[in-house]
Structure 1
Amino acid sequence: MQRITTFSNWLTRWFTLIVVIWAVVNYCIPTISVGGKSYTGYLIGVVLFGMGLTLSIDDFARIIKQPLMVIIGTVAHYVIMPLIAVALCWIFHLSGPLAVGVILVGCCPSGTSSNVMSFLSRGDVALDVSIGILSTLLAPIMIPTLMQVLASQYVAIPWQSLFVNALLVVLLPIALGVACHMLFKEKIQTVTPVLPIISQLAILAIIGIVVAVNHDRLFSSATLLAIPVVMLHNLCGYGLGYGFSKIMSKIYPQGFGYAQQKAITFEVGMQDSGLGVTLALTSFAAAPLTAIPSTFFSVWHNISGSVLSTWWRNHDDRKAALHQ
C-alpha cells in the first residue's frame, strides 16, 4: 500500500508534465489511442464512479449545513464561465463547431482538479468539494439548457442527447459509487488510495484519444485560435471568480474568508473538461472539432492551476514571515 501511495503522490506531482508529454506522443503517433474513441464515456464514468466511492452522507450533509456558500459558488460557476465563453467567441469571431466546443467546456461543471489545487493553495477544500458535487449533480440539466440558450445560434443543439448522455455519464456512476460506499463502508477504504491513480489514468486516456482523433486538425489554422481562447477563458474564470468572492466577503465576511476565496477561484476557473470531451464526442459526433477546446482546456488548466496554487502558497508564506 505504501508503494501505491508513493506512486499516487508522484503521479499527482508530475501530472501536468505527464499530460503534456502524453498529448505530444499521441499527436505524433495517433494510432496509439485513436481506437478508443467509443470508450470516452466509460472512461469519464470511471472517474466519476471513483468520485462517488469517496463520498459519504456527510459530504451531502455539508451542502445542507452551509447551503448559502455552496449555492452561491455553484451559481457563480454556471454564470461566469458560460458567459466568458460566449464573450470570447464574439471577440475572436469564432463560429461553428469550434465556438460550440468553447461554450460546451464553459457550461461543464467544475473539474475535480480544483480540489487538488485548492488543497495545495491552503484553500477551503470542504467548500471546494461541496461546490464540485452540487455543480456536477446539476450538470445533466444545466449543460443542455445553457447550450440551448447560448450556442444554438451556431448549430442545432441536441438537447435530448446532451441530457441523456450527461445523465448516464455523470449521475449514474456517481450514484453507483455512493451506493457502493454505503454498502461496503470500511472495505472501500482499502481501495481509496488507488482511486486517484485510476482517475488520472482515465483522464490521460481521454486526452490521448481526443488528440489522436483530431491530430490532423489540432494545430490547423482553423483550430490554433482555440489555444489563446482557452487560456483566456480559464484565466478570466480565475480572475472573475476571485473578484466575485472578494465582493461576497464584503457582504458576508464570516462566510467568505480568505480560504473560501481561494476555493471559489479554483471552482469557477477549472472545468470538468474530460466531461466536455466526452459530450462533444457523443452528442456532436459529426463535428469532432467540438472536442478540441475541451482537450486544450484539459492540458492548460492543470498548468495554470499548478502555477496559481504554488504562487498563492508561497505568497502566504512570505507574508507570514514578514509578520513574525
Structure 2
Amino acid sequence: MKLLENISIIAGKYFAVWVIGVAAVAFFIPDPFIGLGSYIAILLGVVMFGMGLTLTPVDFKLIAKKPVPVIIGVTTQYVIMPLVALSIAYLLGLPTELAAGLVLLGSVPGGTASNVMVYLAKGNLALSVAMTSLSTMLAPILTPLILLGLAGQWLPIDPVAMFISIIQIIIIPIMLGVFIRKIFPTTVERSTSVVPLISVVAIMVIVAAVVSANVESITTSGVLIFSAVMLHNLIGLGLGYFVALLMNLEESKRRAISIEVGMQNSGLGVALAAAHFGPLAALPNVIAAVWHNISGPILATFWSKKKIYQEQYYQLKETS
C-alpha cells in the first residue's frame, strides 16, 4: 500500500506531464488507443466515484452556513464561462462541432483538480470544495439547458438524454462513493491516498482515446482550438477574480473563485461530447485537460509566493 501511495503522490504531482506525454504518444501512434473511446463514460464514472469517496458532510456545511460566496462563485461559473465560450467561438470562426464542444466545456461544472490548485494557491479550500460540489450537483439541470440555449444553433441538443447521461456518469458514482465512505469510513480513509492514482490513470486513458480518434482534426485545427481553449481558461480565471473583487470578498476567496471558474470538469465534457455530439466536439475538452493542468499550477505557484495581508482584517471584521 505504501508503494501505491508513493506512486499516487508522484502521479498527482506530475499530472500535467503524464497527460501531455500520453497525448503525444496517442497522436503519433494512434492505433493502440482507437478502441478505448467506448470506455470514456465508465472511466469518468470511476473518477467521480473517487471524488465521492473523499467527500464528507463538512464539505457541504459551508453552503448552508455561508452560502453567499458559494452562490457568487457558482453563478459566475455557469454564466460567464458559457458566454465566453460562445463569444470565442464566433470570434475565431470555429467549425460547428468545435464551437459546440467549446460551449460544452464552458457549461460543465468545476473539476476536482481545481481544489488542489486552490490549496496550493493559498486560497479558501473549503469554498473551493463547496463550489465544486454544488456546481456538480447542479450540472444535470444547468449543463443541458445552457447547451440547448447556446449550442443548439450548431448541433441538435437532447437535454433529457444529456440529463440522464450526467446522472449516470457523475451523480450516481459520487453518491455511491459517499455511501461507501459512510458504511466503511476506516477502510476508505486508509485507501483515499490511492484515489489520485486511479483518477490520473483514468483521465490519461480518456485523453489517449480522444486524441487518437482526432489525429487529422488536431493536425488541421490544433493551433486554432488550442488558442480558443487557452483564451477561454485565461478569461475565466481573470473574470472570476474580478467578480469576487467587485463583491468585496477577501483575497483567499477571490483566488478560490478565480480558479474554480477558470477550471472545468473537462473529463465530463469529453464523455458528453463523445456520447451526444461526436469525437471532434470532444477535442476542446481534451485540450483543456492538458492546458488547465499547465495554467493552474503556474497561477497556484505565483499566488503561493504572495502573502494574503487582508485576511486578518476580514476575519476580525466578521467576528466583530
273, 297, 307: which one aligns with 1:306: 297
**Deviation for aligned residue 1:7:** 2.0
Give the TM-score taking structure 2 as reference length: 0.93
The residue identity in structure 1 corresponding to 2:74 is T
Letter aligned with residue 284 of structure 2: P
What's the counterpart of residue 72 of structure 2? Answer: 72
Aligned-partner SS, 2:223? coil
1:8-44 deviation digits (Å, cap 9, x = unpaired): 2222221111111110011111122211111100100
Letter in 2 for 1:90: Y
The answer to whether the Cα contact below 8 Å between 1:95 and 1:154 also exists between their aligned partners in 2 is: no
2:306 to 307, 315, 321: 315
Instruction: Give the partner amino acid of 2:231.
Output: L
Q: Does 1:274 align with 2:273?
A: no
Q: 1:293 aligns with which of 284, 296, 308?
A: 284
**Residue type matched to 1:303 in 2?**
I
In 1, distance between residues paired with 2:64 and 2:209? Answer: 38
Instruction: Give the structure 1 partner of residue 313 of structure 2.
Output: none
What amino acid is aligned across from residue 29 of structure 2 in structure 1?
A: I
Deviation of residue 94 (structure 1)? Answer: 1.9
RMSD: 1.5
Deviation at 1:163, TM superposition (A): 1.1
Matched with 1:31 is 31
Give the Cα separation in 2 of the matches to 1:13 and 1:185: 26
CA distance in 1, matches of 2:136, 2:271: 14
Amino acid at match of 1:99: A
Q: Does the 8 Å CA contact 1:165/1:283 hold for their aligned counterparts?
A: no
Aligned runs of 1:137-156 on 2, under 5 Å?
137-156=137-156
Q: Partners of 1:33 and 1:312 in 2: how far apart?
A: 38
The letter of the residue matching 2:235 is C
1:264 aligns with 2:257: yes
Mapped to 1, the partners of 2:209 and 2:217 lie a distance apart of 14
Q: Partners of 1:190 and 1:237 in 2: how far apart?
A: 36
Query: What is the SS of the residue equivalent to 2:154?
Result: coil
Which amino acid counterpart does residue 312 of structure 1 have in structure 2? W
Deviation, 1:132, is: 0.2
Deviations 1:189-214, CA, capped at 9 Å, x for gaps: 11111111111111111111111111
Amino acid at match of 2:238: G
- Cα distance between partner residues in 2 of 1:38 and 1:2: 33
1:231 aligns with 2:230: yes
User: Distance in 2 between the 1:235 and 1:136 partners?
Assistant: 22
Offset from partner CA, 1:268-323 (integer Å, 9 cap, x none): 00010010000001112xx3210010011110010000111111112339xxxxxx
| CA offset digits 1:218-263 (Å, max 9, x no partner) | 2214x531110100000000000011111111xxxxxx21111110
C-alpha deviation, 1:88, in angstroms: 0.4
1:192 matched to 2:183? The reply is: no
Contact persistence 1:280–1:288 (CA under 8 A) = yes
Please, which runs of 5 or more residues in structure 1 have no aligned partner?
Answer: 250-255, 318-324
Q: Measure the CA separation in 1 of the matches of 2:62 and 2:237.
A: 24
Aligned residue pair count: 309
1:14 maps to what in 2? 14
The AA in structure 1 aligned to 2:272 is: L
Tell me which amino acid in the other structure corresponds to 2:129.
V
**Cα separation, 2, equivalents of 1:32 and 1:258:** 47
* Offset at residue 4 of structure 1 (A): 2.9
Q: Distance in 1 between matches of 2:77 and 2:67?
A: 15
Is 1:5 paired with 2:5?
yes
**How far did residue 62 of structure 1 move?**
2.6
Partner residue in 2 for 1:320:
none
Structure 2 matches for 1:179-258, cutoff 5 A? Answer: 179-221=179-221, 223-249=222-248, 256-258=249-251
Report the counterpart of residue 166 of structure 1 in structure 2. Answer: 166
Whole-Å Cα distance in 1 between the matches of residues 40 and 120 of structure 2? 29
Task: After TM superposition, give the deviation of residue 66 of structure 1 in Å.
Answer: 1.6
Cα deviations by residue, 1:111-155 (Å, 9 ceiling, x for unpaired): 111111101111111110000000001111111000001111112
- Paired with 2:306 and 2:189, the residues of 1 have a C-alpha distance of 35
Return 134-143 or 64-73, whichever deviates more: 64-73
Deviation at 1:60, TM superposition (A): 2.0
Describe the superposition over 1:57-103 as per-residue Cα deviations: whole angstroms up to 9, x where unpaired. Answer: 22222321121111111111101111100110111122411110000
Q: Secondary structure of the equivalent of 1:38?
A: helix
